[in-house]
Amino acid sequence: MAKKLVTDLQVAGKKVIVRVDFNVPHKGDQITDDNRIVAALPTIKYLLENNAKVILLSHLGKIDYKKSEEEIEAAKKKNDMSIVAKKLQEYLPDNKVIFVNATRGAELENAVNGMKEGEVVLMQNTRYEKGESKNDEELGKYWASLGDLFVEDAFGSVHRAHASTVGIPSVLPSAAGFLVEKELKFLGDAVENPVRPFVGILGGAKVADKLKVINNLLEKCDTLIIGGGMAYTFLKAQGKEIGKSLVDDEKLDYCKEMLEKAKTLGKELLLPIDTVVADSFPDPIDGEIATEVVAVDAIPADKEGLDIGPKTAELFAEKVKAAKTVVWNGPMGVFENPILAKGTNEVAKALAETQGTTIIGGGDSAAAIKQLGYADKVSHVSTGGGASLEFLEGNGLPGVDIINEK
């Protein structure tokens, strides 16, 4: 059944708690990329225009409670949400944005109870609460007591069963915001009802990180392209010499199984045919490095594969351009280094030139497509790396599953 959307709620005069994803990169008090704030604006503005009182909850960064008190306090200071409040106010010049430097207690309660319609309260980092990531029942109920309705719009967090993503909607009437709706539509249509040919592209470092994704996409798509570090485990599974390249030896049998499964299903599983090698991984990561291009059957024993080669890039690009649906998760090489970004760049360029639906599955792929300047040339760039990966695996998303049905 379809989930309720924010437009299905009667929000006028109501206190609406919105779980947003304001986990933005920052240096000190300077936000270096505010895309996640911008992505949340349609839902926030809709609520404000419809006379709601908007209470925003988000995490920022990580706080490891296994560390010392000093380290925990330093992490809290580093990940203070006040920097987001200032940026949000710039985007909402006609609405009052009230930052509350608390996650519970009188200061927060007074701010919420004193709100007028069309105002915003942004609460301090949800991870200041130890019980947030444990989905502490009491914490979820407390936060729920602050509002009348709940809207889930943090796609980057819906794969986690936290107090702010699952605990609150366990108590309050709930709906999905516009961002979550958009993410589910693009990813859902691509995986469950794709216009064919459907091409999946997987990259990144380890096979182990994407076991279920490989298996699930192989059943769904017509062609599965594998590049990045994980390709070398597949190449070794085929009996090839891979030198000092990244390898997941415990997954060699799995790779053989997937290669055989592709044949059985009549699917195309494409691996690199040439690769860019060097003596070692670049240090620093964006530093100068001497490379050469070799066929995957001729990788020297003392070299390490760090990017797909030009023939592979051309092969992959041809498949991408001919597709009607493409989902990409994971770069083709060490894209942080300009010398080793050529493979990722060629795939990104092909995606930008594809006439069909093109979806970037968050994380490093999203970073790469933005860094290379193609973000506005693709159909959709997911805001949630982990969540999109879980979705591509065919898993449920706790923060979505809990939302009320229509």
| pLDDT tens digits, one per residue of 256-308 | 999 999 999 999 999 999 999 999 999 999 999 999 999 999 999 999 999 99
In this chain, the answer to whether the domains covering 6-176 and 184-393 adopt an identical fold is yes
Better pLDDT: 395 or 169: 169
Strands (E), 259-303: 268-270, 274-278, 292-295
CATH of domain 184-393: 3.40.50.1260
Using CA of residue 332, residue 273, residue 346, residue 278, what is the dihedral sign?
positive
**What does the pLDDT average to over 109-131?**
97
Higher-confidence position of 55 and 192:
55
Q: Give domain limits for the chain.
A: 6-176, 184-393
| CA atoms of 8 and 210, how far apart (whole Å) | 36
Q: Residue with structure tokens 């994407």?
A: 210
Q: Which CATH number fits domain 6-176: 3.40.50.1260, 3.30.1490.20, 3.30.420.40, 1.10.1130.10?
A: 3.40.50.1260
**Residue 23's pLDDT band (cuts 50, 70, 90):** very high
When mean pLDDT is compared across 212-221, 235-244, 386-395, the lowest value belongs to 386-395
Over the stretch 57-66, which tens digit does the pLDDT of each residue have?
A: 999 999 999 9
pLDDT at res. 388: 85
Q: Give the residue numbers marked as catalytic.
A: 36, 206, 363, 386
Query: Counting Cβ atoms within 10 Å, is residue 268 exposed (0-12), middle (13-18) or buried (19+)?
Result: middle
pLDDT, average across residues 383-387: 81
Residue with tokens 């296994």: 66
